[in-house]
Structure 1
């Protein structure tokens, strides 16, 4: 509304409230340049703390929020880290990994974009969708990537970190639990405790974690003179562990101990033995898992297991992502030792 050639105050207030506040408005109110405003909202920005506080106060007063998409166009950086995980909904270990990644990356001013895929399907199938988000880095966990996917990203200067996975002859860095060593440690632990009829409960066969845990366990048994190792097939689920345990324990020569490739299968194994077959754990049957998920510590399970620390694994991966691109080593494989956690499910 116009009165005597001037805007009435209510009209002015409405117009200002509808105007899109920009970084230039914040700069004007704070008495700084527009690039200074950009640096104030960048956790890594080189700016005097007092100046940053003044800019943030001006932004708050104006109701300004930086446009991440626009900033990405300017800086050629989205501050988004893509994370690919397979079947996360049924995992009890990888959700903790995801939470750790989100917490640490957000503290660095970055955001996590999750892509969920089936752990037995090639990650390459969703490559076009991933690339459309122009992520600054890619972490692949509990899924098996192909060389093409890795090489496509690294050729564009996008670092790729494999978590608990390795792919030969690629430029991706890998951060893994030393799965083979964990299998060997379990074999020695059970043999040293006097167990004689040992079994391995496998997870999904095509995964490197399963293959290496089985390889370390069975090879160490063979080295120590045990050639007859019982193998039961599971699928990294409670139900598959329950059913596989019934098959193992229904044999004419049932095992006196089992090493499960994942804790979740070990929990199913314990329940099948105790509540379906009336077998006493650990007096008549010992169970050892791998992961050390929270449920492993519950009194009803008290599961002996090989701990692979999600916190340490994520810390290591983030340190690789934080390295300057011109100093980043590619093709590195970092093996983190597992730790035997002795609880009440195994007679040791």
Structure 2
């Protein structure tokens, strides 16, 4: 026979208090005499009572739950981000409702699920926020922060790396290493992340009069990078460097180039973006642009909790700098480097 679950009423009977008193002890702790509080805690310990956080939240209107919407869980960058979000939110006493979105845009059932769980805020990483979704969140007083992207012309909270500056500096870096026949493998063209990295990269080459470069869509995936590199190498035999929109694309590009019999970086240089843990693996040892994940996560949570707890309504946008991490996938073709 299953053991009966201990309820707040059981604790109240053992402690000789009312059920609302038990609820107050485990919610705010206010307006409860110390003697009663001690009896309630002793009874709860004796009975093994564990309060229901969700039910308590519905009473106090503070569920301490944050929704995280993430689409590209195959991209190692985002599991690393999720780990940091979990760590920092847990330290502050918050719980996570994780939604792995299967579409580019947040779907109605996902919005409904977050609302049903009475989340206080939502962090959206690589899924697109529609105007309808934004309106639903506002109607239900759910605060939202976009992570690693922003929406041009819209006033949403956002925290992201300065992708334009990073793309520009990557372009400068390759130029200073003597590369002139370069290719760019991008992610989806409708995101601020791709647009800014692409525009910054182009600017570096336009400044010295190079207006054309090779381009392929890679969709921020290993297979996308692999197939895009095959297409590039099949069409052009003079490419000396490839800038990949993120690291997992770069891993695909490296394996594709090796499959073509090319040596990295002797025959072709490859540079990524993110600096995920796999970038350090000996098999890749990828030169890449490091996104400041810890700082990005910290700022995201700070903005979200300030809006939840301090009543701050004005949209906040935080742009953070990253840094170049040099490893072994970019060759110095002119035997001198004046970068930085």
TM-score bucket (shorter structure): 0.7 to 0.9
2:11 aligns with 25
> Structure 1 residue 169: deviation in Å?
4.8
> Structure 1 residue 232: deviation in Å?
1.4
Q: 2:305 aligns with which of 298, 318, 322?
A: 322
Alignment of 1:1-348 (within 5 A): 18=4, 20-22=6-8, 25=11, 29=15, 41=26, 56=41, 58-88=43-73, 90-123=74-107, 126-274=110-258, 276-323=259-306, 325=308, 326-348=310-332
> Structure 1 residue 330: deviation in Å?
2.8
> Structure 1 residue 26: deviation in Å?
5.9
2:336 aligns with none
CA–CA distance in structure 1, aligned partners of residues 248 and 99 of structure 2: 23
Q: Is the 8 A contact 1:119 1:142 kept in 2?
A: no
> Structure 1 residue 332: deviation in Å?
2.0
CA–CA distance in structure 2, aligned partners of residues 178 and 161 of structure 1: 17
CA–CA distance in structure 1, aligned partners of residues 307 and 37 of structure 2: 25
Q: Is the 8 A contact 2:105 2:130 kept in 1?
A: no
Q: Is the 8 A contact 2:72 2:78 kept in 1?
A: no
Q: 1:250 to 1:81 in 2, by over 3 A?
A: same
Q: 1:34 to 1:239 in 2, by over 3 A?
A: same
Q: Deviations over 1:136-157 (max 9, x none)?
A: 1011111111123223313433
Q: 1:109 to 1:264 in 2, by over 3 A?
A: same
The residue matched to 1:98 in structure 2 has which SS? helix
Q: 1:23 to 1:255 in 2, by over 3 A?
A: farther
Q: 1:21 to 1:236 in 2, by over 3 A?
A: same
Q: 1:93 to 1:282 in 2, by over 3 A?
A: same
Scaled by the length of structure 1, the TM-score of the pair is 0.84
CA–CA distance in structure 2, aligned partners of residues 148 and 290 of structure 1: 32
CA–CA distance in structure 1, aligned partners of residues 263 and 33 of structure 2: 66
RMSD of aligned residue pairs (Cα, Å)? 3.0
> Structure 1 residue 237: deviation in Å?
1.6
> Structure 1 residue 23: deviation in Å?
6.5
Select between 120-129 and 141-150 the one with higher mean Cα deviation.
120-129
Q: 1:146 to 1:180 in 2, by over 3 A?
A: same
Q: Is the 8 A contact 1:123 1:145 kept in 2?
A: no
Scaled by the length of structure 2, the TM-score of the pair is 0.86
Select between 127-136 and 330-339 the one with higher mean Cα deviation.
127-136
> Structure 1 residue 77: deviation in Å?
2.1
Q: Is the 8 A contact 1:245 1:272 kept in 2?
A: yes
CA–CA distance in structure 1, aligned partners of residues 34 and 108 of structure 2: 44
- Note the residue ranges of structure 2 that are not aligned, 5 or more in a row: 333-340
Q: 1:123 to 1:262 in 2, by over 3 A?
A: farther
CA–CA distance in structure 1, aligned partners of residues 52 and 325 of structure 2: 47
> Structure 1 residue 186: deviation in Å?
0.4
Q: Deviations over 1:69-120 (max 9, x none)?
A: 32122101222111111132x2211111112212222222221111122353
